[in-house]
Chain A
Amino acid sequence: DVKVTQSSRYLVKRTGEKVFLECVQDMDHENMFWYRQDPGLGLRLIYFSYDVKMKEKGDIPEGYSVSREKKERFSLILESASTNQTSMYLCASSLSVNYEQYFGPGTRLTVT
């Protein structure tokens, strides 16, 4: 079974803090994705990566950056957290860009 894990289920941070969300997959997948999910807005793609050290912007990259130094790990960074970044953050991976994506359990981030 594909396993995608995320570093925290719940996280509370203060405005202006730097936040790291980590995602690890154990299936040697090439592609990894970061989404955020908000009520009424569905899932929105923030960034994705199709190879180590490669990244592409999704639909809402502003205020976020990512890092992929190893194939199995994809980090989402909020350089200076703001209250409008309070959300559920979901990581996903897929074998190839055209294949189905497998999601992690999500991190519910609250910025106060």
Chain B
Amino acid sequence: DAKTTQPTSMDCAEGRAANLPCNHSTISGNEYVYWYRQIHSQGPQYIIHGLKNNETNEMASLIITEDRKSSTLILPHATLRDTAVYYCIVRSDNYGQNFVFGPGTRLSVLP
């Protein structure tokens, strides 16, 4: 699986947009970009995923660059409850490919 690189930590003011970057420069054509988050002492929560088009759901937007070597997760109006570790994961749709969680980005939403 392609590896991802994320900043270790980020801060964001409450009510502002949180933009979390992820680099995946060795991504292959059949590999998707997934985002999960994990709030302290809870299980990871699925946020969104995409292949090459930008995606949006009720939680967030995912912007993938045209060359697919990087992506950004956008939380449009961050709240204190969005404080969590955010994981960017690249995974193919081949059978048996499982999610590999790296260290992620620790996002702190500040009042």
Interface residues of A (CB under 8 A from B): 4, 33, 42-43, 45, 48, 56, 58, 90-92, 97-98, 100-106, 108
Contact = CB atoms under 8 A, between A and B. Distances in A.
A66 to B, nearest CB: 15
Looking at B45, B94, B98, B103, which has the most chain A CB atoms within 10 Å of its CB?
A: B98
Given A98-B93, A98-B95, A100-B49, A90 B101 contact: no
B21 interface: no
Contact of A103 (B41, B43, B97, B100): B43
What 5 A-B pairs come out closest when comparing CB atoms? Answer: A103-B43, A43-B101, A98-B93, A42-B101, A100-B46
A98 B94 CA distance: 7
Contacts of B41: 106, 108
B45 A103 contact: yes
Interface in B56-111: 93-103
B102 A101 contact: no
Contacts of A104: 43
B49 A42 contact: no
Interface residues of B toward A: which range?
A: 10 to 19
Nearest to A48: B98
Nearest to A6: B43
Interface in B23-73: 34, 41-46, 49
Nearest to B92: A98
A44 B95 CA distance: 18
Contacts of B100: 42-43
A43 B42 contact: no
Contact of A45 (B34, B44, B94, B98): B98
A102 B46 contact: yes
